Amino acid sequence: MKTLILLFSLISTLSFAQDPSFTETEIRVSKWIDGSLIVPNSGSDQMAIIIGGSGPTDRNGNQNFAKTNNLKKLAETLAENGIASFRYDKRIVKQIKMRSVDPNIKFDDFVSDAIAVVHHFKSEQKFKQLYIIGHSQGSLIGMLAAQQDVDGLISIAGAGQSIDAVIIDQVDKTAPLFTEETKRAFEVLKSGRTTTDYPPALASIFDSSVQKFMMSWMKHDPAVVIKSLNIPILLLNGTKDLQVSKAEAEMLQQASETSELKLIDNMNHVLFVIDGDDQENAKSYNDPNGKVSEVLIQSIVNFIKQ
């Protein structure tokens, strides 16, 4: 009898420990967009659409050899603070799973997907306020989708220049011998033509398979787009972000009269706090046990609930 009582007690304890403060539901928005809606069990008037960064990023913020679950952790922590969220796999993730990647995929396809998500939740009218949280490339996608009349935008590690300007700056800092060739290649792409005249070391940027995608991406200038938005905007950037410098966030702030900027000490590009050097920083890109910055979370919560 004592054994049964102890067993019952253990089961009850485990059930309580595993009972989250939110409910997560799988939702299909369109043919290409599958995602997870998290709603606090206490309910919520605010919902945030979380848009991931570049590459085949899934709803949790992961790619091959880069698994942090940072967007999942962000969503769950927001729920613990009373804010619902929807995060989704980028369409290329589903295409990869189906072994049917569209060779003609464009940056604007990602924008269309984000707009479809906004329309889905606006039409449902389950939440009084709708916000967009865009990380990295998702920042620009979020800016473009925010033109659909949302209540606010949060940009995390978003570039302040068009992608060609960002890449030229990065090349100039890390491999200046390729700077002029990089500029020349982008000038050709700007004219709407493809090119084979680029440094072999930059094949991942200028390979023929990605040039049309790059053309569709570089035509959008974040500073111009954000200037057109007349909604509250929160700009967040980490001081240990190796990919997007605080200068990019400052460019966005200068372009927007409705924005506020918060720089987060020691936060890196994958939203983790780094106490050590660049080696620790790089290792964190594949650390599923990393913890999302508490300052980041609190900044977002305060912004949405203000």
d(CA 6, CA 139): 51
d(CA 93, CA 292): 23
Is residue 267's pLDDT more than 50? yes
Q: Does some domain include residue 260? A: yes
According to DSSP, residue 38 is labeled E
- pLDDT tens for each residue of 22-35: 999 999 999 999 99
CATH of the domain at 140: 3.40.50.1820
Number of domains in the chain: 1
- pLDDT tens for each residue of 119-162: 999 999 999 999 999 999 999 999 999 999 899 999 999 999 99
Q: Does some domain include residue 15? A: no
Q: Does some domain include residue 2? A: no
Q: Does some domain include residue 26? A: yes
Q: Does some domain include residue 170? A: no
- pLDDT tens for each residue of 205-252: 999 999 999 999 999 999 999 999 999 999 999 999 999 999 999 999
d(CA 192, CA 68): 37
The pLDDT, as a whole number, for residue 199 is: 86
What single letter denotes the amino acid at residue 82?
G
